Amino acid sequence: MNFQVLQNRLYFDKKDYELLGIVNDVLDREDTPNLKSLLTPYLHPHGIKEMAASKGLRIAYAVVRLFRSLERSNVDERLRTLSALREEVFSSSGVGLRNNTARVLLQIMKELVRAKDEEQKLKLARDFREAATGRPRAIARQLRKYHLVEMPEEWNQIAFDDHVHDANTKGRKTATHLIMDAWIKGIRRLRVIYYNYLTPEVADELMRAAAIMDVDVRVGLEFTPRFRGRYIRLIWSPRGFNESSDYLDFCRQPGVQQFMDEGRAASEYKQAYVFAVMEAFNQKHRLEINRRFGILMPLLSRDELLHLVGTGQPSLHHLAKLIHDKILPLFRERLDDLHECCAYGGEEQRQAGTQLAETMNRFDIENIIEEFLRPSRNPDLPNLAVPSDDDDAPALLRASLQELLDKLERLHARYRITLGLSGLWAEDVLEILYQSQGRVTRLEAFNFKDTAYNRCPDNTRIFELQSALNSGNAVSLKRVVMDIVQKVVADPDRSEDQKIRLRSILSDLETFRDYYRGSVLESRIGTDSTGGSSKVPGMGLVVVDTLPWRCRRQMNKLGDLQGGIPIRIDVVLRKTYDFRHFERKMNRMSGTGQPCIWSRIIPWLCPSNDEWQVQQYQSVPSEHSNIRILGGFADANGNRLELDCTVQPKVKKRPHPRYLNTNIKNWLKILCGFVPAFATFALTKDWWLLAYFGALIWFGITGVRNIIQSVLGGGGLRRTPFLRWSEYVKWNRISDSLMYTGFSVPLLDFLVKTVALEQGMGVTVATAPLTLYAVMAVVNGLYLASHNLFRGLPKTAAVGNLFRTILSIPVALALNFLLGFALASAGVPAVGAVLQSWAAIISKLASDIVAGFIEGLADRGVNFRERARDYTQKLRQIFDVYARLELQHPDSEVLSVLETPERFVCSVSLEEESLNLAAIVNALDLMYFWMYQPRARHVLEQMMRQMSTEERRVFLLSQYVLQRERDISQLFLDGLVGKNFAGALAFYLHNWRRYLEDIQRLALHLPSFSIPVPKPRRTQCRV
C-alpha cells in the first residue's frame, strides 16, 4: 500500500466524500427538475424531504442556484431560493449558536461551490459537517477563518452600512446576493444607493429579499446637482411607507415614473462617456500595455462590457474590471515565460524578470483606472465631472441645487436627503445647508472611498459646524460661522459672489438656526465598496459596544478590522420586560386569575428584549472610535503573481490533523483519556479488579450516562419504531467526554483523595465521609467547568456543572451507605478500606447520575423548543391555506369541503393548484414530525390544547388529504422531493393510516372536541 492511499484512509470520512459528490453533482446538473423540487414552497427542512435529500445537498443546491441566477432575470426564482436557503441553514437541531452557525454554513458552502482543487473541496466539506454540529469552538474557528465577526445570538447588534451598491449600479451582486452577503456579515441595516433612477422591479427584489433575511433596508437615489461650477452629491431617500408594497406603488406613480425617465436619460448620457473611454483605451492605452509587458491584448468590445455589467449601469469601474479580466490570463502566460528565462538565465535576466513580475502584480483594477481611464489620461474626451452648458446634456444634469430640491419635494412629502462631502469645504457645506432651507437632513460624515482617495479635505471643520448647528446654541453657531466667513473673505482667490452669500448667511443666522431647530442634522457612514479593493474595505460596520465581551475578544483576534474611523457612536441599551408573559405563567401555576405582583417586584424573572439605540455621533480621534469594519481589505499582494526563479518540485503538504478520519480521531481521543486513567488505577490499586478494570468501569459510567442522556432527551427508547437507539447518540460528544473524564482520574483519585485528603489531612470514608465526598465533588465540578469553558461551551453549561456537583454529594453518601451495608451483610472484612478504594468511582457515579437527569432534561428542553418552532411554522401555513380558501370561496363552507378529501382536491380551480399542493405538503411534513422528530407528539398535544375548537377542526380536517393515496403517490413520482423518493413514498404508504388514527385518538381525548374520521375513497382527481 503506497503512502498516498494510506493518507487517503487516514484523512477525511466517507460522509465528506459523499457531500463532495453531492456538490459536484449539483454543479454539473443543477437545472434538473429532480433537484429543483427541493425548493418547493412549504417543504419544511425537518419534514418529509429529509428522507430524500441530505441537508448538505439542499444547501449546496440553493447556493449554486443563487450564484448562477446572476446571469438570469427570474427574480421570483431567486427569492424563492433565498427563502429556502435561509430555512435550511436555520434548521440545525439543538444548536445554541443558531445565527452564527447559519452564517458559517452559508459561507463555507459558498467557498465549496467556488473551489477548484479537490483536496480543498474535501477540507471544506469536513468544515461544513463540523460546523453543522454547532459546537462553539468549531463555529468560532470558522468565523475567524473567514474574517467574520461573531454576533450576539439575540441579533440586536448595531451593524450597518449606509452606502452600498448592487449589480444595478456598479456593484457585482444582485439585490438578493447583496442581502444574503450582508446577513452573513451580521449587518442589520443597509442603505442601497442607485444612480439617478430606480425601476419598481429592482426595488421589489431588494425589499422582498430584505424581508426574507430580516434586514432593514433603505433605498437611496444619488443625484449630482450643480453648485459653483461643479457637481455635488445628494442622496434622496423617500420615507413614510408602512410596507414594501406602499413603496412600490409610489414608484409606479406617473409623476415618479416621469422623474425616473429623466434620471435614466442622465445615466445613459454618462454611460456614453464610458464607451468613449473604452474606444480611447483600444486605440491608445491598449497598445501601450502591450509594449510595456510584452503581451498581445485583444480589442475590447461593447458587448463584452455590457455582458459584464449585466443589469447595472456601465461605469469606469466596470471597464477597468473588464480590462483586468482580459489581461490577467495574458500576465500568467507571460509569467511562465519569465520563469523559464529566470531559471536558466543570468542575474540581469532575473532582476529584469522580477521587476516586470512586480509591476504585473500591482496592475489591479484601481491602478488601471488611475493610469488609463481618468479624464486627465484622456484629454481629448469631454470631462463629465465638470458641468457643461451643452444643450444636449439631460435636464437633470443641468439642474441646480434649488431646482433639484424643489422637484424632489413635489414628488413626496416625507424624505431624507444626505449630502456627500466629497470635495466640499466647510464654507460649501454652510452655503448648501442654507440654500436647502433645512431639506438636507443628513451628512455623509465618513465615506471610505472618498477618504481613501483624499476627497474629504475639510471634515473636521464640517463636523464643528454640524455640532454647533445641532446644539441649538446661538453663540457657538455664530462663532463657527464667523470663522468660516472670515477665512473665505481673507482669501483673494475666492469669488465675490461666494463672499457676499456667506456674509448674508452670517447676517441671517437666526433663520439658518430655525431650519434645524426641530430636527437634527444627523450623520451617515458608508463604505461605498464594490469589493476586491486594497484601499476600500468590504461592506459593513459595527458598533463594538453592542457586542458581548466574547464577541469583542474574537474581533480583536482578527486584527485587520480597525478601519481608522474618526467618529464615535454613543449608544444606550433599552430593556423591555414582558410582564404579561410572566403573569400568565404564574397564574397557570397558581390556578388563579388574579394579577401577579411578583413580576413588578422582581422584573428580572420576566423575559426581556434588549435593544440598542443610537444617541449621537461624535467626532473623535480614530483610536477612540468604537466603530469597526466588517468586510476587511483585499489582499495587498494584488494579482498574486509570483516569479519563482528556482527549479524545485512542489511538495504536497499533509492535511491538518483536524481533517483526520472521524473514527480515528474519536479513538485517539478515547485513548488519550484512557492512558492516564489506566495508569492511575494500575499504579495505585492493589486489588486486581480496580488495578486492571478500574479505568474501564470509569469510562463505562461516562459512556452509559451519555447514551442514556441522549436517548431520554430524544424521547425514550419507545419514542418511535423507525429509529434505533444509536441514532440518538452523538458519538463525537461521547469521545470528547471520555477524553476529558480520563484526566479526572489522577486528579480525583490520586491527588485529591489519596495525597491531599488521606495522606495530608487524614480524611477517609471511615473518618469523615461527608467531607471526603464534598471536597471531591467540588474539585470535580471545578474541573468540569474549566474544561467546558476551554471547549467553548456556553457558560450556562459550566455553571450547571458546578451546581450538579453539589447535588451529587447526598447521592454519593447514599451510594456509599448502600454499598457498605451490602458488603457488611456479605461478611466482607475491612469494609472501610474497600469503600476508600472505591470512593472516587462512587463520587463519579453519583455525579453522572445527577448529570444524566440534569442534562437529559436540558436535551429534552432543546427538543421541545425545536419542535415548538417547527409546529408553529407549519400550523401557521395550515391556517394561512385555510384562510385563503375561505376568501376564495365566500359562498361555501370550506370545512365541509375539507371533511371529504376528494371534494377538496376536485373542487379547486387552476388558480388554486398551489393551495392543493401546499395542503398535501403540510400534511406530509406533519406526519413526518409525528413519526420521526424527537418530542413531536408531546409538543403537538400541548399546542392542540391551546387551540380553539375551530382551529382544532381545521388542523385535523387538513390532515385528511393524506387519504388521497393515488394522487399523492403520483406527486412523489413526479419529483415532489427529488429523484430519491422511494423511501419517502414507502414511508407515506405504510404509515398514513396509523398517523390519522393517532391524531384522531389524540383529538378525542381533548376536552370539547369530537369528529369522526371519514372513510377513504378511491376517487382519483387532478393534483
pLDDT band at 942 (very low <50, low <70, confident <90, very high): confident
DSSP three-state, residue 775: helix
User: Cα(443)–Cα(619) distance, rounded to whole angstroms?
Assistant: 13
Name the residue among 230, 512, 535 with its Cα closest to residue 387. 230
pLDDT in tens, 797-831: 667 767 777 788 888 888 888 888 887 888 777 77
For residue 222, the cross-strand partners are 195, 235
Cell of 167: 449589480
Q: Are 19 and 126 in contact (CB under 8 A)?
A: no
pLDDT band at 718 (very low <50, low <70, confident <90, very high): very low
Name the residue among 943, 942, 939, 933 with its Cα closest to residue 93. 933
Displacement of CA 906 from its chain's centroid (Å): 43
Q: Where are the alpha helices (DSSP H) in 715-794?
A: 731-745, 769-790
Statement: residue 266 has pLDDT above 60: yes
DSSP 8-state symbol, 371:
I
Statement: residue 95 has pLDDT above 70: no
For residue 466, give Cα distances in angstroms to 193, 484, 521.
24, 13, 7
Statement: residue 432 has pLDDT above 90: yes
For residue 541, give Cα distances in angstroms to 219, 527, 529, 613, 630.
18, 8, 12, 16, 5
CB atoms < 10 A from the CB of 299, how many?
Answer: 12
Q: Phi and psi dihedrals of 191, rounded to 5?
A: -120, 115
CB atoms < 10 A from the CB of 2, how many?
Answer: 7
Statement: residue 592 has pLDDT above 60: no
Amino acid found at 569 = I
DSSP 8-state symbol, 605:
G
DSSP three-state, residue 164: strand
DSSP 8-state symbol, 611:
E
User: Cα(197)–Cα(180) distance, rounded to whole angstroms?
Assistant: 24
Most confidently predicted of 351-355, 540-544, 727-731, 919-923: 540-544
Sign of CA dihedral 967, 922, 205, 975: negative
pLDDT band at 329 (very low <50, low <70, confident <90, very high): confident
Percentage, residues of the chain above pLDDT 90: 15
pLDDT band at 725 (very low <50, low <70, confident <90, very high): very low
Q: Are 70 and 175 in contact (CB under 8 A)?
A: no
User: Cα(830)–Cα(164) distance, rounded to whole angstroms?
Assistant: 80
**Strand ranges across the sheet with 234-238:** 522-526, 442-447, 415-420, 234-238, 216-223, 189-195, 159-164, 541-543, 627-629
What is the DSSP pairing of strand 567-577 with strand 189-195? unpaired
Average pLDDT over residues 556-566: 71
What angle (nearest 5°) sits at the alpha carbon of residue 984, between those of residues 61 and 988?
145
Average pLDDT over residues 998-1014: 69
Displacement of CA 25 from its chain's centroid (Å): 25
Q: Are 434 and 512 in contact (CB under 8 A)?
A: yes
Statement: residue 293 has pLDDT above 60: yes
pLDDT in tens, 28-69: 765 555 556 667 777 888 888 888 777 777 777 777 777 766
Cell of 238: 423617500
Cell of 1023: 393534483
User: Cα(464)–Cα(487) distance, rounded to whole angstroms?
Assistant: 15
DSSP three-state, residue 994: helix
Cell of 262: 429623466
- HSE-CB for 777 with a 13 A CA cutoff: 28
pLDDT band at 1018 (very low <50, low <70, confident <90, very high): very low
Sign of CA dihedral 526, 531, 535, 539: positive
Statement: residue 956 has pLDDT above 70: yes
For residue 633, give Cα distances in angstroms to 499, 525, 538.
42, 17, 6
User: Cα(933)–Cα(719) distance, rounded to whole angstroms?
Assistant: 9
What is the DSSP pairing of strand 230-231 with strand 541-543? unpaired
Average pLDDT over residues 238-253: 85
User: Cα(630)–Cα(846) distance, rounded to whole angstroms?
Assistant: 48
Statement: residue 727 has pLDDT above 60: no
For residue 351, give Cα distances in angstroms to 279, 364, 645, 648.
35, 22, 10, 19
User: Cα(780)–Cα(1003) distance, rounded to whole angstroms?
Assistant: 48
Q: Phi and psi dihedrals of 400, rounded to 5?
A: -85, 175
Statement: residue 194 has pLDDT above 80: yes
pLDDT in tens, 204-229: 889 999 999 999 999 999 999 999 88
CB atoms < 10 A from the CB of 420, how many?
Answer: 24
What is the DSSP pairing of strand 522-526 with strand 442-447? parallel
User: Which residue is it, cell 440545525?
Assistant: 92
DSSP 734-749: HHHHHHHHHHHHIIII
The predicted pLDDT at position 581 comes to 58
DSSP three-state, residue 971: helix
Most confidently predicted of 183-192, 767-776, 834-843, 953-962: 183-192
Statement: residue 895 has pLDDT above 70: no
Average pLDDT over residues 137-148: 88
Question: Residue 106: enclosing H or E segment and its boundaries?
Answer: helix 98-114
